[in-house]
Amino acid sequence: MPTSKNKPGKKGLKIVIKIGRYVFSSSLDSKTLSAYAGFLRTLRREGHRVVVVTGGGDEARKYISVARGVGGSEYTCDTLGIEVSRLNSRLLITSLGEDAYPAIPVSLEELRKAFESGKIIVMGGLQPGQSTNAVAALAAEAVEADLLLNTTNIDGVYTANPKEDPNAKKLDKIKTSDFLKLVIDDKLSAGGYELFDPLAIKIVERSKIPTRIIDGRKIENIERAVKGEPIGTLVES
């Protein structure tokens, strides 16, 4: 029984939001966290059902660096990254108080059960080999989300790395197939994978999940995306 998607701007949307390093930086602070929590609570009170995926941020990098120093495999480094992303989830859950589901799902099946609660679900990584961007896309697919927001610290997808190429142009829309090529060709430098990895793109494409890549450093950008405004880059399937 497929549920027909609701359009952004409507009430009662199912929204998945990936929150990345710009919140979980080395200068991790309570004030920033509280601001995002406040916004998420507002979304819930407006009737939206929200899943948040937190990245590992700078703390993950720190732990991974020590692990590499003692000969840790890629598997182990990813495992540490996942565990730190869950610490970040816990912080956000704390900040959300009663509006958050108290446990962190560690599989998509657990997410689906937790989502039944009507509370805001916060989760981190799931498995080595996947970025938390991919987790956000998988979560969006699992709950049949109406909107996937990948919030990051740049304002959308560019034709090239804007820090290196002065002719790089921000795109208002991008097709999943073109996005995949950009990411694979690594035209976006290391930042490319951070924007969105191939698995994330594949999931968005196959399940036709309405997806935007936006600058999350200003909360109002996220608000505007929820309202359906043409902000950041729209990923079209």
At what angle are helices 132-142 and 108-115 packed, to 10 degrees? 50
Q: Minimal distance in Å, beta carbon 72 to its own copies?
A: 4
Q: Is 232 left (phi over 0), alpha (psi -120 to 50) or beta?
A: left
From 7-15, 77-85, 156-164, 222-230, span contacting its own copies (CB under 8 A): 77-85
Residue appearing with tokens 């509006």: 99
Does 13 participate in binding its own copies (rule CB under 8 A)?
no
β-pairing, 211-215 vs 233-236, is antiparallel
Q: Minimal distance in Å, beta carbon 166 to its own copies?
A: 27
Q: Residue 60: what residue type? A: A
3-state secondary structure of 21: coil
Comparing CB distances to its own copies, the nearer of 33 and 53 is 33
In the sheet with 211-215, reading across from the earlier edge strand, the strands are 121-123, 49-54, 14-19, 147-152, 211-215, 233-236, 173-175
- Per-residue binding letters, 82-121, with its own copies (x by CB under 8 A): -xx-xx--xx--xxxxxx-xxx---xxx--xx--xx-x--
What is the contact surface with its own copies in residues (CB under 8 A)?
A: 1-3, 28-31, 33-34, 37, 59, 62-63, 66-76, 79-80, 83-84, 86-87, 90-91, 94-99, 101-103, 107-109, 112-113, 116-117, 119, 126-130, 134, 137-138, 141-142, 144, 180-181, 184, 198-199, 202-203, 206-207
